[in-house]
Amino acid sequence: MLRTLYIKNYALIDELNVQFNNGFTIITGETGAGKSILLGGLSLVLGKRADLSQVKNTDEKCIIEASFDIANYSLKTLFNSLDLDYDVQTIIRREILPSGKSRAFINDTPVTLDNLSKLSNYLIDIHSQHQTQQLTEDDYQFQVIDALGENNLNLESYNKLLVDYKLLKQSLEELKISKSEMIKEYDYNLFLANELSEIDLESINLQELEAQYEELNNIEVIEDKLGSSRAIINAENLGVIDQINKVKQELLKISGFGKSYENLTERVVSAGIELDDILSEIDNLEESLTTDPEALNLINKKLQIINNLFQKHSTSNVEDLIEIKVTLQSKISNTESLDSTITELEKELSQLDEKLGVAALKITKKRKEAIPVLISKLERMLTELGMPNARFNIEIEPLNDYNLNGKDNLKFLFMANKGSNYNELKKSASGGELSRIMLAIKAILAEYIQLPSIMFDEIDTGVSGEISNKMGDIMKQMSNKMQVFSITHLPQIAAKGNSHFKVYKTDVNDITLTQLKRLDEDERIVEIAQMLGGINITESAMAHAKQLLN
């Protein structure tokens, strides 16, 4: 329920701070006194877009703040989903800055207008004649019937299944579309994968393979150079080994003359041993050399294949080719298993469809049980509201597809007068009739679900005193279970309130301001007397006002 409303620097309001109680609150005032300004400020708190033209003094910030008691609204889950701190005393604040920018806060946390609107839908409902058009919309009509049919849990279950069903159906459709594309690529992928599989990539050492090729391709040069090297090392008298031996003999003669000569001699001895080993290695390599044109040809072909694959797949190493082969094989496997995957998904979708059908039937059954109850209550209440011939015919027909409301098509038909034909509400009911129908529906809904605080904005316009008296009774009865406001020009309704506020204009320093005042008992009598007889109050008007209040 709405506890407090603070408005500063908005339209004709300089500063306003008011507290509200539970029950039935009346707001009255002359035409043009500023009731629409009050509603405009409240609408800003509920998420309406703001602009700088609404600010009284554009050099200062405009602030509108409302506090709500939400203990009975079960909104913790919504607060969590909006990433907000939950508090049973929730404060919403809107600010319009001199720059024209607007900011919104819930419990001091900045929020977007979208999230503010999501929360405010649960807090207060501003109901005007214009809003009665909502009554002609399918979603609202389903909401009414489902409230009476206590379909909340059934709809929750159904919508969870519907989310899964839509996601699975979308996945299946996407898979079927991609199947045709994958089939087109299948043959090409298979060719590439086979081409990569023909050569055993995992066993290839490219560096080693290239070294083998170089050796076999240059066998004659290697043989020639090994031979000449052996001759240089081992030539008699002139060979490197003979020369080293001569050096060694000379140094041995002086090695005993000092450590430096001894070390030098040892190094020459070591060089001689290393040369002997090199000569032995040259002999072994010469013996192992064989000319093998066939092996050379095979290695050359393999290297050509690898280089061609490098060029085709835009890479330069075998590891990348292996990875490409694995990817291609995976695509091939996916394509080959696509039909079985589609079959499995179709089976799952069929099972979900069956569950959805059962869930939808439960919802339909509850609706069919609720419809006669709703019609009976509506027609009885509308008779009291001066529409004795009003009749409803609510029909439910099955749909082929699932929607958010189930699998039903709803026809909410209305007949205002005897001898007329049933027709859609928006075609057969006048604005005044729609207002009374909406009031009746809201009153019925209040018996079944926790409604937000509701503010009726002059929905009694154009009705007689007798009917307005009954409208007041209905709003008064609603206020036993919820907070109800009524902005009215009718004394019969104004007298039924638990509390009464008056909107009025006053001039302060040649500036017109809108004010809001809570009336005490004597002030209420005067206000209602003026509503009955005008500004010049008569004794009979005062007496009538007291009678209405009593």
**pLDDT, tens digit (0-9, with 9 covering 90-100), for 304-351:** 777 887 888 888 787 888 888 888 777 777 777 677 888 889 999 999
What pLDDT does 66 receive?
94
pLDDT band at 5 (very low <50, low <70, confident <90, very high): very high
What pLDDT does 285 receive?
84
Domains located in the chain, CATH noted:
1-123+452-519 (3.40.50.300), 180-336 (no CATH)
How many Å apart are CA 485 and CA 456, to the nearest integer? Answer: 6
**pLDDT, tens digit (0-9, with 9 covering 90-100), for 97-124:** 988 889 999 999 999 999 999 999 889 9
- Within 34-87, strands assigned E span 62-69
Q: Among 349, 468, 367, 352, which residue's Cα sits nearest to residue 411?
A: 367
DSSP of 244-263, one letter per residue? HHHHHHHHHTTGGG-HHHHH
What pLDDT does 133 receive?
62
Highest mean pLDDT: which range of 119-133, 196-210, 216-230, 390-404? 390-404
What pLDDT does 460 receive?
78
Structure token digits, residue 39: 């509603």
- The pTM score is 0.68
> Regarding predicted confidence, which is higher, 204 or 165?
165
What pLDDT does 196 receive?
78
Q: Among 428, 513, 494, 473, which residue's Cα sits nearest to residue 135?
A: 428
Amino acid at 542: M
